[in-house]
Amino acid sequence: MAAPLLLAEEIILLSLDDATGRPVGRQGMAPDLALAGALLMDLALAGRIDTDRDRLWVADDTPTWDVVLDGALADLADPAAPRDARGAIMLLARDAGEVRDRLMERLVDSGRLRRVQDHVLWFFTDRRHPKPEGRDDAARARDRLRILLLAEEIPEPRDALLLGLARAAGLLPLIFSAEELARVQGWLGLVTRIESLNRSLAVAVADVRAGRGAG
Quick: pLDDT tens for 95-140: 999 999 999 999 999 999 999 877 666 666 678 899 988 788 889 9
Task: Examine the pLDDT at 189 and tell me if it is beyond 50.
Answer: yes
Burial class of residue 89 (count of CB atoms within 10 Å of its CB; 0-12, 13-18, 19+): buried
Task: Examine the pLDDT at 41 and tell me if it is beyond 80.
Answer: yes
Q: Residue 186: what pLDDT?
A: 86
If DSSP codes are grouped into helix, strand and coil, which group holds residue 56?
Answer: strand
Q: Residue 209: what pLDDT?
A: 62
Domains and CATH numbers, the chain: 7-209 (1.10.3630.10)
Q: Which uninterrupted H or E stretch holds 180?
A: helix 178-191
Alpha helices in 18-156 (DSSP H): 30-45, 67-77, 85-93, 96-109, 137-150
Give this prediction's pTM.
0.87
Note whether 160 and 194 are within 8 A (CB). yes
Q: Which uninterrupted H or E stretch holds 204?
A: helix 196-209
What integer is the mean pLDDT of 41-59? 90
If DSSP codes are grouped into helix, strand and coil, which group holds residue 131?
Answer: coil
CA pair distance 15, 31, nearest whole angstrom: 8
Q: Residue 215: what pLDDT?
A: 41
